[in-house]
Structure 1
């Protein structure tokens, strides 16, 4: 008998699960509200990293003179200013997001997955009720349901976006003119990424941080490097400054801080975290337990507290990364359909902050070592001594490795620098496969290359 799987949500957790379930012979229906790909493709990961790609080019051009590259205008005089056409950038961003969404939908249909437009909810009897865009309802029978509804930007009553000058990170792609002065409220990953990107696009940026440093949840050494680079490039970082309210008067936005200070700009991006899309879905009535923040509680194979109901992605609050959402969705289907499954192991997840420089991490952290959760030897190697870094004019960044004393097994790492998201991969393999620092060191690296610093750091962890 064919198993019927209904997936509510078309983001990474949903569409990756759909591919697995279809491959394993299930009858699969994806109920989608906002567009296949979800926020990851349409309003978050794909758009923001496309914007950041342009910012990276601007960052590299800023250091071109050091490499002997000069720019000239048509008359032969030296060009002193490079400008970004934000309207063209955002048009490209939205087109790429739309194309990616269409491509994912085509692949789902190719695999035999049915796509239903509408909002799905549980009815408490193992079925899914879908309210269509026309207000009509249809009922889908399901042997298993996967909830992959994602999350939305958090706002406050005193800081309400208007879509024009007070913006969430989902609304910035409608800008057609460069802000003359941008204020970013929130110094977590999202806030730091947008602040870094717009700074490199030539826009004056003030970053309002309620904590004593940017990226309070990341490696402290990495955050210190980033903050030093941002301030050197002209960003105004207001640490230990909590936002009280954001208001607009005409073309001026005012951020009022709890200590009475005010910051004025032309635009403000609110990066205040996320809230799960779990309201009005019949979850609690169906026996699905939510935590105090409204996130769906799941175990390591993506099961909720309700029989036959799984959940994946940002709506679970486990770790808000597209890669984790996708893996949670795959694990759910592997588990339900009886395939080989390995429970989610967050210590093997690599992640990246797409600032300039990038910050990539995997495995155990410096904080865990410092507070005694994990005993590990640590080596940190600045990139400034790397031959390739010198050739490319890279002065900021480092490689940090953690390995177990005695066995020498690599249990974590941090890379700060250009394309750190790519450089972290050999460290991720070492962590995933329990390789020793010696094994990592003895693998050949290209000379000269940035990855040579990873091997060099591993060599410094060798013990006779």
Structure 2
């Protein structure tokens, strides 16, 4: 079998793989992209970020119409089904695939469809579903195979009432009740979405609080608003078993509680897609969840094999994955670490309302003995929020008491994931450019949500003495 030669072979066309391929191709390298599925985009485009956020938008539009036209509420609830709202997501996915395919064509990146497996440190065999295979050789490889929902062996995912975060998108009818096991980002997002549809939701959290990596005030706000919307949150609970019935599922918890619902959504962790790739034979040993250990340059135990994106674990964000891919390709092509690409990445959580965070939290600053102060801007006090009716939420800035350097930005409310980027631009400045003084001395359009930064900065300034 002949071997085709490339400078770089990227495995997986999600955000991480795309970032690596585009950077390498634009640097003049001969690049091959290997994708297991017939269409590019990875889980981000087909089963995770894009379809779930498009679904959320469709649900939010339905809720908005019901609020604006209460006389249509019953009629809309009867006529709109879950699968109808998924059509919006499907159309967005199709457009994204077409767009991303043109990226590879324009940059002369060759696309090869099939399952990749390392036969040695410099060669992968790509096997097509019909049985054909070919060998690809390269000086460097980037593994960007992503992740999939973790499936515990004692759960029957073939049962029509048991779902994970991939299969929930195939749901036809909107259930009356559901249990979500796992209160991480995915669990909270789906709890929020289904509750907006009027579904009675039990959200099972195995920990003490929701999303403990967030600033405590933001986490508390999320808990409050989910409960206010009608989500029943059960903290520090562990699953014993799930009993399936024709008319629903019963969750048996180790605390002795039993919960019954129409459907059960497992949302407790993900697994890296590293199986059957031949990595172990090369000395690259994934951990128990399939994640590949990497160094600061995203190199694996074999220095010319890199890994980026969800397959390396946290932060498991599409935005982070893309920059990790660019970072790895920069190191391959230029031999340097462009650390700014993977530093201070914002977190976006698409609950309702949204959450976005950047930088350090209050608990981290307190733990480390950093003298900081807090500035708040509550959306209910902003004219733009009052005009739009989106008054739930706040912008919170943490800054150094002496230098006024911005240390963290935490936003909860409508369009939080957009609002965060204004503060991100200032935080990225070196020296005195990163200061709350920028917001105090800058004129903002009025009325806007961006004005929240000026309000928060003045609020914090008033706390100094």
TM-score, structure 2 length as denominator? Answer: 0.92
Q: Secondary structure at the match of 1:424?
A: helix
1:329 maps to which of 325, 331, 349: 325
CA contact (8 A) 1:117 1:133 kept: no
How far does residue 374 in structure 1 lie from its aligned partner after superposition? 4.6
CA contact (8 A) 1:209 1:241 kept: yes
Q: Given the alignment of the two structures, is residue 371 of structure 1 paired with residue 367 of structure 2, yes or no?
A: yes
1:184–1:445 CA distance, 2 compared to 1 (3 A): same
Pairwise CA RMSD of aligned residues?
2.1
CA contact (8 A) 1:47 1:94 kept: yes
Q: Given the alignment of the two structures, is residue 129 of structure 1 paired with residue 125 of structure 2, yes or no?
A: yes
Q: What does residue 44 of structure 2 align with? A: 40
Determine the C-alpha separation between the residues in 2 that align with 1:36 and 1:367: 41
Determine the C-alpha separation between the residues in 2 that align with 1:163 and 1:335: 46
Q: What does residue 28 of structure 1 align with? A: 31
Q: What does residue 443 of structure 1 align with? A: 442
1:364–1:331 CA distance, 2 compared to 1 (3 A): same
Which runs of structure 2 are paired with 1:61-460 in the superposition (5 Å)? 61=65, 64=67, 69-72=68-71, 82-83=76-77, 84-162=80-158, 164-338=160-334, 341-343=337-339, 347-372=343-368, 374-434=370-430, 435-460=434-459
Q: Secondary structure at the match of 2:356?
A: strand
CA contact (8 A) 1:188 1:217 kept: no
CA contact (8 A) 2:243 2:250 kept: yes
Question: Could you tell which deviates more after superposition, 111-120 or 447-456?
Answer: 447-456
How far does residue 285 in structure 1 lie from its aligned partner after superposition? 1.9
Q: C-alpha offsets along residues 27-66 of structure 1, whole Å, 9 cap, x if unaligned?
A: 111111133110000000001001110222244446x4xx
Q: Secondary structure at the match of 2:407?
A: strand
Question: Could you tell which deviates more after superposition, 212-221 or 103-112?
Answer: 212-221
CA contact (8 A) 2:327 2:341 kept: no
Determine the C-alpha separation between the residues in 2 that align with 1:25 and 1:104: 19
Q: C-alpha offsets along residues 340-367 of structure 1, whole Å, 9 cap, x if unaligned?
A: 6512565510111100111100111222
How far does residue 114 in structure 1 lie from its aligned partner after superposition? 0.8
Q: Secondary structure at the match of 1:157?
A: coil
Instruction: Note the residue ranges of structure 1 that are not aligned, 5 or more in a row.
Output: 74-78
Q: What does residue 52 of structure 1 align with? A: 56
Greater helix proportion: 2
Determine the C-alpha separation between the residues in 2 that align with 1:247 and 1:161: 12
CA contact (8 A) 1:357 1:416 kept: yes
Determine the C-alpha separation between the residues in 1 that align with 2:8 and 2:258: 52
CA contact (8 A) 2:176 2:198 kept: no
Q: Secondary structure at the match of 1:245?
A: strand
Q: Secondary structure at the match of 2:339?
A: coil
Q: Secondary structure at the match of 2:153?
A: coil
How far does residue 160 in structure 1 lie from its aligned partner after superposition? 3.2
Q: Secondary structure at the match of 2:454?
A: helix
Q: C-alpha offsets along residues 216-242 of structure 1, whole Å, 9 cap, x if unaligned?
A: 332221122122222222222222222
How far does residue 200 in structure 1 lie from its aligned partner after superposition? 0.6
TM-score, structure 1 length as denominator? Answer: 0.92
Determine the C-alpha separation between the residues in 2 that align with 1:247 and 1:431: 50
CA contact (8 A) 1:378 1:400 kept: yes
1:161–1:222 CA distance, 2 compared to 1 (3 A): same
Determine the C-alpha separation between the residues in 2 that align with 1:123 and 1:282: 7
Q: Secondary structure at the match of 1:231?
A: helix
Determine the C-alpha separation between the residues in 2 that align with 1:106 and 1:247: 47
How far does residue 5 in structure 1 lie from its aligned partner after superposition? 0.7
2:10 maps to which of 4, 7, 10: 7
